[in-house]
Chain A
Amino acid sequence: MYRYTDFDKAFVKSRAAQFRDQLERWQCGQLREEDFRPLRLQNGWYVQRHAPMLRVAVPYGELSSAQLRVLARIAREYDDPASDVYRCAVEAQAKLGSTHLPTHTAHFTTRTNVQFNWIPLDKAADVMDLLASVDMHGIQTSGNCIRNISCDERAGVAVDEIADPRPFAELMRQWTTLHPEFAYLPRKFKIAVTGATEDRAATDWHDVGLRLVRNSSGDLGFRVSVGGGMGRTPMIATVLREFLPWNQIMNYIEAVVRVYNRYGRRDNKYKARIKILVKAEGQRYIADVEQEFRQIVELDGAPHTITQAELDRVTSAFVPPETVAEATGISQADAPAVSDRFARWMRRNVAPHREPALRIVTLSFKRLGHAPGDASAEQLERLADLADRFSGGEARVTHSQNIVLPWVPASKLFALWEAASALGLASTNIGLMTDIIACPGGDFCALANARSIPVAQALAERYQDIDELDDIGDIDVHISGCINSCGHHHSGHIGVLGVDKDGKEWYQITLGGADGSQASGTAQPGKVIGPSFSAAEVPDAIEAILGTYRDLREHQEQGRYERFIETLRRVGLDPFKAAANGARNKDEVLA
């Protein structure tokens, strides 16, 4: 993973010191709450339903074992609410039916960051110092600025990779970090970058989506799409360039962001994202960006052109772990399937690697009794140990809220499976019904209209039979507690959206959304199948939808069935709608 330079380290420490100064001025009344708020947000500090929330940046999802241990320490020592804060929170949530609010826990997010829900604000500066000690921070994880850049969890190790996107993601991280012109954009701004033929980063759902491609001459460049986004107006990004030479990418992004900074709406925060500007202005926005890009190149002297020397310098900072050198050139067969469970794990959780002797392993953080993507202090410690023993000290957060170990020698797969099983992290549900993406929802988030975690839990409880899960097959189930769509419900094959009706929690179900992966098809938002469902009805409605799929699916080649999304695309929404509607009228309260 990227090795921080002395400059990078000093920079993060300066930022921590600056935040401490701002926090202290706020605490002693020199800085008003409304003036402090945008400053703390740009350092990752929210104030949520019950307590502050910290979002820690994990650039392109990469974590070292040393960083995992510091995250574990923060979970253990700081994610610890005062007893009165916790009591009030538990009482408030009990009224909604929640029986458990985890503390001392980290949460992996859909943009591959890490969140903590209970750190008191008066400990905030100490936590930032602790993070800085392992080159971590919360810079631009919130606020109306260019956010942490997300990437492909298999970057640099994927077999379908055109070029490693991480050096570009790192150059973008540097260029966007505390960029003085773009600190106060109309709204948040998210960039995703991938270098593989499979889009594992949902690029078309981002404000800027970048895919490394080669043109007909074999030159490397970016496909650039702009103006994707979820929220109340889901929009798929518009392609501005099918091919932009790689060395021009920062000049081009500067043009994209400058035009947005100048002309994006600031009168209505619901219409302030770049997607609204792109939709409203259409071709004129594109023409403005192209003109601004020409001027940056011709009049400003193309100041952000990436030289080969600079790309080489940053690329060389991504040092592969020693396991790679040890394993290079040795072709390694998979371990023999000593048990059915291990064989399933090999099929579901283990992927090929660009080095024939290595594998990419996904550890499941979708377990009964835990919110999707939650990891306790103890689990983070053990995860760090697994990363050290099996993956050259590196782990990655995935956008589906699991963890990937990217450098596992094939010869160690069985030992890893045993160790992960003992920790409850070897569930073979990757890509299946219970690999649910969910936001923290109404148990933690101040914006949520309804809770997400209990819905995810109810579905997880219902689908514990691994044979049944395998039979249902690949499916994306995404749950958001409100229209801000942090749980990516728009892109789920089955999407669940929490809505508030008369102070009660209700849920809209959408079908047919796609994140843009090959199996899901072109990125698109799902369609609402009718009036909202009560919390108790949701699992029944989804069971009915899945039953309809099993009734209607057809055999494909090699004895496999159509996937859920394929059947849905072939037969249309109606039979699924009818099935879901038949599951209404339950009035039990969901615990």
Chain B
Amino acid sequence: MNNIPRFQVIDRRAALDAGQPSVLKLPNDADPMTLAGELAGVERIELHFPHFTDGRAYSQAYLLRRRLRFTGDLRATGDVQVDQLLQMARTGFSSAVLNDGLNPTEAARHLEQFSGFYQRDLIVDSLPLAAARALEPGSRSD
């Protein structure tokens, strides 16, 4: 899992201007498991938040990263606010397109409010010592 790109926060206008490499857009009621075997050549999958309180895309992200081993860019679109970026980064998203009017630079600090968590995230290089102590030693496979 370590070859996944680091989390990027993207201005909405920049996202609109970007070219469209091999991008797959998945509605948030779709079953990502139907994509099994079809992800070759896909560089980015976009998962949509119709409203930030609709959390289905977090489970989609988990399944894409963990179950289907997708290693391309996993992008959050729709109602993306700074207070949910941390949850996105922790469930396997690698980029997020911020709502209009929000500042990507300012947003970055919201990714660093905790020194560790009780759950092991999908993308972690090294956990702080204190957090590692709270986890189940030796029982995780990733």
Asked if A pairs with B, the answer is yes
Closest partner residue, chain A, to B101 (CB atom): A30
Task: Indicate if the CB atoms of A175 and B115 lie closer than 8 Å.
Answer: no
**B54 and A301 form a contact (CB under 8 A):** no
Q: Which of A14, A177, A185, A302 contacts B55 (CB 8 A)?
A: A185
- Give the complex CA separation of A175 and B120 in angstroms: 10
Question: Does the CB pair A180–B119 fall under 8 Å?
Answer: yes
**Residue in A31, A179, A261 whose beta carbon sits within 8 Å of that of B56 in the complex:** A261
Judged by a CB distance under 8 angstroms, whether A73 is at the interface is no
User: Are A11 and B133 CB-contacts (below 8 A) given A175-B119, A301-B141, A307-B138?
Assistant: no
**Which residues of chain B have C-beta atoms less than 8 A from A6's C-beta?**
130
Indicate if B58 sits at the interface (CB-CB under 8 A).
yes
Q: Which of B126-142 contact A (CB under 8 A)?
A: 130-131, 133-134, 136-142
When distances are taken between beta carbons in the complex, the residues of chain A under 8 Å from B66 are 300
A contact patch SS: helix
| A306 sits at the interface (CB 8 A) | yes
Interface size on B, residues (CB 8 A): 41
Q: Which residues of B contact A21 (CB under 8 A)?
A: 113
Q: Give every chain B residue within 8 A of A174 (Cβ-Cβ).
A: 118, 134
> How many angstroms from the CA of A236 to the CA of B131 in the assembled complex?
38
What distance in Å separates the Cβ of B88 from its nearest Cβ neighbour in chain A?
Answer: 8
Decide if A22 is an interface residue (CB 8 Å cutoff). Answer: yes
How many A residues, CB 8 Å from partner? 44
Q: How far is the CB of B67 from chain A (nearest CB, A)?
A: 6
B58 with A310: CB separation less than 8 A: no
A7 touches B131 (CB 8 A): yes
- Whether A38 contacts B53 by the Cβ 8 Å rule is yes
B136 in contact with A7 (CB, 8 Å): no
Q: In the docked arrangement, what's the CA distance between A181 and B86, Å?
A: 11
Decide if A572 is an interface residue (CB 8 Å cutoff).
Answer: no
| Given A6-B130, A8-B134, A300-B66, A305 and B55 contact (CB-CB distance below 8 Å) | no
Instruction: Give me 10 A-to-B residue pairs in the complex whose CB atoms sit less than 8 angstroms apart, sorted by A's number.
Output: A5-B133, A7-B133, A11-B116, A144-B55, A174-B134, A179-B119, A261-B58, A266-B54, A303-B141, A310-B137
Top 6 closest pairs, chain A to chain B, by CB: A184-B55, A301-B141, A180-B90, A7-B130, A174-B118, A180-B87
Known: A180-B86, A182-B55. 9 other contacts (CB 8 A): A11-B118, A181-B59, A184-B52, A266-B56, A300-B66, A302-B141, A307-B137, A309-B138, A310-B139
